Amino acid sequence: MTERESLDARLAAERARWEAAGLRRELALATPALVDFTSNDYLGLARHPQVIEAAREALREYGAGGRASRLLGGGSVFDERAEDAVAAWLGAESALLFPSGYQANVGVVQALIGPGDVLLSDELNHASLIDAGRISRARVVVYRHADVEDLERQLTRIGAAARVLVATESVFSMDGDLAPLADVARVCRARGAWLLVDEAHAVGVIGRDGAGAWSTVADELGGASSRDFDDVLAARIVTGGKALGVTGAFVVGRRSVREHLIQRARSFVFTTAVSPAVSGALCAAIELARRADNSRAKLIRLARALALACGAPTPAAAIVPVILGEEARALDAARLARERGLDVRAVRPPTVPRGTSRLRLVCHSFNTDAELARLAQIARELAPELVTELGGPVGSGVTGGPGGPGGPGAAAAPASTRIVRAPNRHAARAATPCVVAGTDTGIGKTVVSALLARALGARGAYWKPVQTGDESDTRTVIELARTRTFEPGASFAKPASPHEAARAEGRSVDVAGTTRLLGEHAVALGGGVLLVELAGGLSVPWTDEFTQLDWLARERPALVLVARSGLGTLNHTLLSLEALRARGLEPRALFLVGDEHPSNRETLRALGKVALLFEVPRFEPLSTATLELWLARNDLGPLFDEANER
């Protein structure tokens, strides 16, 4: 009973922290009474009579359940029919049906690569691809979003690896933009890597006959088909729960890949087959989606018109993000839209980076110009300082004049019709600050910072707000991690606490200026993680009246705590954790630096209750190579979930 109460109390405290940060999530039912601007049912096939009837027919013939895994006789003949249909649609040799997109991504990555291999993942990839990399136990390298030059740079740095897999979405689920697939494929071929493309938000919406983004790059790749790149493209993921309106997901590719997945993909081998109703409905939905050119053209027209009105980049498909910044603002905007009859949802961290909370607006073939006009009419109340006048009907995508998508003679919208103009997506993005704090001075914060920077690669940068003494921690991190750095906010010659070192020079630490620099550096980095190493212990003063702990309590960044592993660490570390938690701050990890001390480690694990605990030796020699060896044995990926997950 005591353990149950302790668990309940701990979970309640965690929920309270999430709620205080405006990040609590709740289940949300579909609301047919509202106009749908949020679901992924792009073509409206979820309610199509032929899809529903196909599901009923499969139920009548095979019953409700999948009954067992397909290796044990589960499923139905409709599974293979759906696989054949989607493969024919996408011009592939074969396909394999999984119960969900998450399982498909986990299964294909885990089956294709493992320990000793490398996965290169776009920094905005869906959480399922992030988790797939972790489960595979391959080394994961994150490259900048849609940045082919950074991808190539990372590929040149990975060294020897048995297999290298590059994973990207084609249309990204939160930003709605398109990956440069042709250039990514060229780099993969030049570097001997395989390519995995998640087409969840593309198939059914773009491409010839709705066959997805990969079908649109065939000509650019050097011919009427992408046959020259068959050795590069490992597979495509096609989800059944988006444009197809059903559920499940297909891994589409060569027959050899399908056969390999049947043997090795654990999320396929050890799961019950989908219901016959699912695969039966998919058969009908695939046929309808192939012939839905008019519906595709309409939803693309609506999405582009909406993006034009919002000041957002032209969408690749149906998703238009309207970035509002703060979590509360996005929630208030979504709540107001729903009160006015529009189903609009807010997306917040950790699904998107901090400072980019947004309305994720989705256009469908069943939406109308009049419904988009309703959204325009309430836009002034969503964000009045961001709105702009429209020069034509909301659904037309025109600002006036002949030759546009709306055509000559399009009716003018009322002068009062406005819609949110969001900031440019790239301008709004900023790095997530992660502070490296310590229980004392001289305990190894700089080495831990170098480890974190090395693990982040191009996604990270390092900054020391206050440097005291002659030794440059910034220079040390550059030499060890070869990472991007920013100049210290302030430097003082005396090796003492910041307030004393500054006083010795007749100066003082500019707290407001330090905070301003934090924001400027985060924006300059433009995404990823900004590592911020503090000076000395948590309560070291910056001024006579203001400590580093005060600054942490005010800025509330992500943080890790560094402590000694040996004698004296229990008291210092537990008091430091208590001080942080008294201010509502929870470290993501505890790093113990020095010789292994099993008793201290287990005591701090039990009493400290920090989610992640790492032991870091005194490296001999201290070099990039010894850091790399440690990183090969320790997964720091979970530290950066908030910056990575979609």
638 or 608: whose pLDDT is higher?
608
Residue 145 is a catalytic residue: no
Q: Annotated catalytic residue: which of 48, 242, 298, 464?
A: 242
> What 3 state SS string does 486-533 have?
CCCCEEECCCCCHHHHHHHCCCCCCHHHHHHHHHHHHHHHCCCEEEEE
478, 485 Cβ separation under 8 angstroms: yes
Burial class (CB in 10 A: 0-12, 13-18, 19+), 118: buried
Q: Annotated catalytic residue: which of 40, 279, 449, 565?
A: 40
Q: What rounded mean pLDDT belongs to the chain?
A: 85
Q: Annotated catalytic residue: which of 48, 145, 201, 364?
A: 201
Q: Annotated catalytic residue: which of 36, 122, 198, 343?
A: 198
Q: Average pLDDT, stretch 627-643?
A: 80
Q: pLDDT band at 308, cuts 50/70/90?
A: confident
- Each residue's pLDDT tens digit, 94-127: 999 999 999 999 999 999 999 999 999 999 999 9
Residue 310 φ/ψ region, left for φ over 0, alpha for ψ in the -120 to 50 degree band, beta for the rest: alpha
Burial class (CB in 10 A: 0-12, 13-18, 19+), 415: exposed
494 pLDDT higher than 80: yes
375 or 65: whose pLDDT is higher?
65
Q: CATH classification of 18-42+295-427, choosing from 3.90.1150.10, 3.20.19.10, 2.60.120.10, 3.40.50.300?
A: 3.90.1150.10
Total Cβ atoms within 10 A of residue 571? 9
Residue 494 is a catalytic residue: no
- Each residue's pLDDT tens digit, 570-583: 999 999 999 998 88
Q: Which residue has the tokens 């301008």?
A: 427
- Stated as kind and residue range, the H or E segment containing 277 is helix 276-290
- Each residue's pLDDT tens digit, 18-44: 777 767 778 877 778 899 999 999 999
380 pLDDT higher than 70: no
Q: Annotated catalytic residue: which of 36, 79, 105, 126?
A: 126
Residues 6 or more apart in contact with residue 285 via CB below 8 angstroms: 45, 48, 51, 54, 240, 244, 245, 246
Residue 201 is a catalytic residue: yes
Q: Average pLDDT, stretch 465-478?
A: 91
Q: Annotated catalytic residue: which of 76, 125, 136, 173?
A: 173
Q: Average pLDDT, stretch 484-488?
A: 91
Residue 325: its pLDDT value, please? 83
Phi, psi dihedral angles at 76 (to 5 degrees): -155, 175
Residue 426 is a catalytic residue: no
Q: pLDDT band at 333, cuts 50/70/90?
A: confident
Residue 583: its pLDDT value, please? 82
DSSP-derived 3-state class of residue 307: helix
Assigned token pair, 159: 């060294």
50, 288 Cβ separation under 8 angstroms: yes
Residue 5 is a catalytic residue: no
Domain 430-644, CATH 3.90.550.10 — does that match?
no
Fold observed for domain 46-290 = Aspartate Aminotransferase; domain 2 (3.40.640)
How far lies 143's CA from each of 121, 125, 219, 276, in Å?
Answer: 6, 10, 26, 40
Burial class (CB in 10 A: 0-12, 13-18, 19+), 209: middle
In the chain, where the domains are located:
18-42+295-427, 46-290, 430-644
Fold match flag (18-42+295-427 vs 46-290) = no
Radius of gyration for the alpha carbons in the chain, expressed in angstroms and rounded: 27
Q: Annotated catalytic residue: which of 36, 150, 169, 645?
A: 169
In residues, how long is the chain? Answer: 646
- Each residue's pLDDT tens digit, 165-213: 999 999 999 999 999 999 999 999 999 999 999 999 999 999 989 999 9
> pTM (2 decimals)?
0.64
Listed residue (583, 584, 541, 531) closest to 562, CA to CA = 531
